[in-house]
Structure 1
Amino acid sequence: MKEDKKTLYSKIVQDLIENIEKGEMVKGQKLPTEKELMEYYNVSRITAKRALEELKNMGLIYRKKGHGSFLNENASKQEIYKQKFISMILPYENSSGRFIDYIKGASDYLYSKGYFLSVNCTDGDEFKEKEYITKMSSAGAKGIIYYPAKNMNNFDILYLLYTKKYPIVTIDKYFDSLPISYAVSDNFGGGYELCKYLIELCHKKIAFISSIDISSASSVRERFLGYVKALKDSNINIDDNVVINGYLKHENYDLIKICKKLYDCGVTAIICENDFIALDILKSLNVQGINVPNDISLAGFDNVPVLQQMDIELTTIEQDFYEIGKKAAELVIEYIEREGGIQKKAVIPVKLIKRKSIKNILKG
């Protein structure tokens, strides 16, 4: 998915601010020209010019006609911390999947409110997460939008911020025992709708596969519980043998063997934790000559655009990542403007995307 101008403009602004914070730029230093920014970030002249104008309005640079843009004598960490910015902390940097839509949704809303978005990626490292949460909350960020890699990571620092009434909102996951606001997808509804759809197509032995422990992330747990509820509502017994819970925790796991075991015990459909796991499962099935959907049906969760070019068009649940990012930003700003408030829960609807990886087993 192509990034829009607002997102790219924010990226340029953010990168310069990070360079100032790290001391990589000195006062009076000349900045890259509009043309150089265009080439480096692959943006239009309008976007490059807009980023430089915003930096000028923030008092961080000055522009001399015919000479270029220069770092202001007053540009410093202290000057940056006066600015109205919200920090978004993400586990990974991904320009073609859900993360860019989180950024776009939050950035668009914050821009309309006179804030800009600072994005930090932790590479899934819980220690980096803690460092960024601590740094951003004490370095001038007016609030934080936080995507936890796991549910229980950094509970201590989050609880401390909660007691200080610092504006923080989680996305994708929530903390059961920590009353901070969150914006998440209707994971339970998605798991339920996906399993119910398979049941309507006459599937009864439906497997659920998760790479991580189901209890370790509220998002995965809710999907699983939706799957369980759909089976119960249709009077289908839950078979623990076809629930693969956290295969990554086993050092010598073998997806090919896992898939063969499921197929041999009569599983006719597999629901995966997400689309990426579905892709791995598809590869493991293909290696054994097990065809999707003729031999077994397969479904994912997320509707990640980059995976729409799979060998088989994947049935999945579409999450509205843009709306989640936007809603999280709304909750942060609302908390700031009200100077506190109670926990708010935003559950964003999902959509079943029916494609060719699932078939009605009675029709053949």
Structure 2
Amino acid sequence: MTEYLYEKIYQIVKDKINRNELTIGDMVPTELELSREFGVSRITSKRALQELEQDGYITRIRGKGSFVKERTTNPFVKRQEIVLVMPFNADHEFGQYARGISDVLDYSPYELAIRISDKFTIEQLEQYQGLIYYPENVKNSLELVYQAQLNQLPVVLLDKDLEMFSYPAVTSDNQGGAYQLTKHLANRGCQKILFVGMESLAEVSSVRDRYFGYLKACSELNLKSYHLESSHERSLDQLIEEIMVEVTDDVSIYCGLVVESDWLAIQIVQQLQALQLSVPDDFAVVGFDDIEASRLIEPHLTTAAQNFYQMGKVAGELILKEMKQEDLKEQHIAIPVELKLRKSSQQ
């Protein structure tokens, strides 16, 4: 995961500099200190410092350390802030979203600040000129987004749409990705294809869109649709038991699973392997997201890769247009995904 962790460190240190928590001449934590703080290798922390030096935020003096420098190339003495609020600190997504937004804001009067949802309060909204918000689900997002609306704060939603608000949203093409994955399983000989999830379709629009893509493909293929989901009434272990029944009910029928996320797909594969089922010999599995673990699990997981950098870049462009009160022709922009065909679906 060190391939992406440096971006997270870069953004956090950059944010501290922009907020004057680290001022000109202050010493920045060393490679060793950063590696210990974030639990990464020194190669990763070194790259983060190199990026900060390259972008003009710090100067590095051999034998002494790294220090915040005056950015003489920055024409803005005081830059206002747009905040990116995320519900998690996932290394790959976090860094790629932030890098895409920052690349757009670099030539604007605004800096990017990054906050995690559970540490971000409604009162803090007043500090910012715009909000790019990643909603975890409907329930946990309503109050913050509605308060932003009351404050007439420009907002762009990231990864998920909240249909009760008129804010623009930038997502992956979740429906198209699940549609392609379902068609792929059918082409690989799956005669029975199930959609498996844990998130509520009513609460999480990205998963709902993936389910719609699955349903569309099943309709075109004249296949019966199946929806297996975990819930408050059904634990993950119970879900695994139900999947086991479905894929072994008739051994003459080759089954495929379209799983809402890579994380859940990996849990399913590992638990069914422990029950002596083999992937892809006994059944095929595809996920969604292309997380690092999807390339490490055996067999490697077929999935749909999201372009997080491009999503961040488009979100940055939209927030600037909103702040200029430009008319936005598209309220929902879906960024194409890329199928990563691997062994888990290749019988």
- For residue 71 of structure 1, report the CA deviation from its aligned partner: 12
Q: Distance in 2 between matches of 1:202 and 1:90?
A: 39
1:40 pairs with 2:36: no
**Among candidates 170, 175, 181, match of residue 162 of structure 2:** 175
Aligned runs of 1:65-104 on 2, under 5 Å? 83-95=79-91, 97-104=92-99
Alignment of 1:77-226 (within 5 A): 83-95=79-91, 97-122=92-117, 125=118, 128=119, 131=121, 134-139=122-127, 141-226=128-213
Q: Which residue of 2 aligns with 1:275?
A: 262
Is it true that 1:258 corresponds to 2:242 in the alignment?
yes
CA-CA distance at 1:237 after TM superposition: 2.4
Output the amino acid matched with 2:266.
L
How many aligned positions are there?
321
Distance 1:120 1:160 in 2: 17
**1:311 positional shift:** 1.0
RMSD: 3.3
Q: Percent identity?
A: 26
3-state DSSP of counterpart to 1:294: coil
Distance 2:220 2:141 in 1: 37
**Bigger shift: residues 206-215 or 252-261:** 252-261
Residue type at the aligned position of 1:355 = R
Shift of 1:47: 4.1
Q: Which amino acid aligns with 1:191?
A: A
Structure 1 CA distance, aligned partners of 2:25 and 2:219?
A: 66
- In structure 2, the residue matched to 1:249 is 232
Question: Helix, strand or coil: the match of 1:173?
Answer: coil
User: Residues 114, 205 of structure 1: CA spacing in aligned structure 2 closer, same or farther, 3 A cutoff?
Assistant: same
Specify the SS of the correspondent of 2:27. Answer: coil
**Alpha-carbon contact 1:162-1:180 (below 8 Å) kept:** no
Distance between the aligned counterparts of 1:89 and 1:223, measured in 2? 24
CA contact (8 A) 1:37 1:48 kept: no
Deviation at 1:19, TM superposition (A): 8.0
* Offset at residue 111 of structure 1 (A): 1.8
* Shift of residue 173, structure 1, vs aligned partner: 0.4
1:81-126 deviation per Cα after TM superposition (whole angstroms, max 9, x unaligned): 953221111111122x32221122112222233432211123xx4x
Please tell me the residue identity of whatever aligns with 2:87: P
- Flag the 1:296–1:6 CA change in 2: closer, same or farther, 3 A: closer
Residues 343 and 151 (structure 1 numbering): CA distance in 2 closer, same or farther, change over 3 Å? Answer: farther
Residue 333 of structure 1 pairs with residue 320 of structure 2:
yes
- Equivalent position SS for 2:82: strand
| Deviation readout 1:55-100 (Å, 9 max, x if unpaired) | 99xxxxxxxxx9996999xxxxxxxx953221111111122x3222
Amino acid corresponding to residue 249 of structure 2 in structure 1: C
Extract unaligned runs of 5+ from structure 1. 57-65, 73-80
CA distance in 1, matches of 2:104, 2:8: 11
SS at match of 1:301: coil
Report the equivalent of 2:15: 14
Verify: 1:234 aligned to 2:229, yes or no. Answer: no
Q: 1:211 offset after TM fit, Å?
A: 1.3
SS in structure 1 of the partner of residue 195 of structure 2: strand
Distance of aligned partners of 1:37 and 1:166 in 2 relative to their CA distance in 1, 3 Å threshold: same
Distance in 2 (CA, whole Å) between partners of 1:285 and 1:172 is 30
TM-score in terms of structure 2 length: 0.81
Structure 2, unaligned runs of 5 or more? 35-44, 71-76
> Does 157-166 or 188-197 show the bigger shift?
157-166
Q: Is the 8 A contact 1:212 1:249 kept in 2?
A: no
Residue aligned with 2:202, SS:
helix
Separation of aligned partners in 1, 2:305 and 2:69: 44
How far 1:191 moved relative to its partner? 1.1
Residue pair 1:101, 1:325 contacting (<8 A) in 2 also: yes
Kindly state the Cα deviation for residue 248 of structure 1 after the two structures are TM-superposed.
4.3
Counterpart of 1:331, as a letter, is L
Alpha carbons 1:315, 1:354 under 8 Å: kept? yes
Change (3 A) 1:106 1:71: closer
